[in-house]
C-alpha cells in the first residue's frame, strides 16, 4: 500500500511545484478511484482568482464535474465515494467538511496544516458528529518533508497578497529541520501497520518520517506545464 501512496503523492507534489512556479500556494491533490486511476486533480488557485475558497480540493471537484459530465450531487457523491484523495497538505476545516459531506472514504496527505487542519491537527472533521456524512479514514505523512519544503520555498518569496509581508532579508530558508510527526494523532498503530507496513512501525513509535532521504528532484525541478500524460484523468462511469 505504501508504494501506491508514494506513487500518487509524487504526482501531487509535482503539481504543487507547478503551482509554486505559477505564483500560487504550492498545494495540489489527486482524486484516485479504487482501480488506481486518476479521475481528477487540482491545485490552489487563490492568488490568481482572488478567491479564498479556491483550494486544490475544490478545484479537483470542479474539474471532475467539467470533464466527466457530472451534473448533479448524486453523480458527484457516487464518484467520490469510490475515491481516495491524495493532497500535499492536510485539508483545512472547510475542505475536510466538504469531503465528508460528499462521502469520500479516505484522505492521504503530506504535511499537517498547523493553523487550519481539519483532519486531526486542529479539528478532526473526518469523525464524530461535527459534520453530516460517513466518517472517513486519514493517512498522514506521505512525502511530508517534500510538501513542507515547497511551502517554505513559497513563503520566503515575496507574496504581494500576504496580509503582513516580511522583508526578504528577514526570511531564512530551512532545508534541514522538521518537527516530529505525531502519527498517533491521525491513525492507530494497527491502522499504520495496515496502510504503511508493520516493518515501518519504528517510525510510528519515534514520530519520524518514513524515509531518511528527501526526494529533492520533486521539489527542486521546475514544473512549468502539466502534460496530459503526467496526470492522465480517466473518465468515470456515472451513477445514473
- The cell numbers describing 6, all together, are 508514494
CA distance 153 to 104: 31
| Pairing between β-strand 38-43 and β-strand 28-32 as defined by DSSP bridges | antiparallel
CA distance 187 to 191: 6
- Catalytic member of 57, 90, 146, 195: 57
Residue with cell 503526467: 230
Q: Which residues pair with 89 in a beta bridge?
A: 111
- In the annotation, is 146 catalytic? no
Residues marked active site are found at 57
Amino acid at each position: 500500500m505504501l508504494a501506491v501512496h508514494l506513487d500518487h503523492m509524487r504526482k501531487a507534489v509535482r503539481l504543487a511545484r507547478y503551482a509554486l512556479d505559477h505564483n500560487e500556494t504550492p498545494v495540489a491533490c489527486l482524486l484516485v478511484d479504487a482501480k488506481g486511476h486518476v479521475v481528477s486533480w487540482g491545485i490552489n488557485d487563490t492568488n490568481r482568482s482572488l478567491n479564498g475558497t479556491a483550494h486544490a480540493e475544490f478545484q479537483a471537484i470542479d474539474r471532475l464535474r467539467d470533464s466527466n459530465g457530472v451534473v448533479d450531487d448524486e453523480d458527484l457523491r457516487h464518484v467520490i465515494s469510490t475515491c481516495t484523495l491524495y493532497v500535499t497538505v492536510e485539508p483545512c476545516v472547510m475542505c475536510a467538511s466538504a469531503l465528508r459531506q460528499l462521502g469520500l472514504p479516505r484522505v492521504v496527505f503530506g504535511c499537517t496544516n498547523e493553523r487550519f487542519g481539519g483532519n486531526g491537527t486542529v479539528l478532526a472533521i473526518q469523525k464524530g458528529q461535527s459534520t453530516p456524512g460517513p466518517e472517513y479514514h486519514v493517512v498522514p505523512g506521505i512525502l511530508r518533508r517534500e510538501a513542507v519544503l515547497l511551502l517554505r520555498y513559497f513563503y520566503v518569496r515575496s507574496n504581494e497578497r500576504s496580509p503582513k509581508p516580511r522583508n526578504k532579508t528577514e526570511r531564512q530558508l530551512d532545508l534541514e529541520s522538521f518537527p516530529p510527526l505525531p502519527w498517533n494523532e491521525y491513525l492507530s498503530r494497527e491502522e499504520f501497520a495496515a496502510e504503511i507496513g508493520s516493518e515501518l512501525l519504528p517510525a510510528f513509535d519515534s514520530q519520524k518520517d518514513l524515509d531518511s532521504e528527501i526526494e529533492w528532484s520533486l521539489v527542486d525541478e521546475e514544473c512549468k506545464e502539466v502534460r496530459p500524460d503526467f496526470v492522465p484523468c480517466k473518465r468515470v462511469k456515472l451513477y445514473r
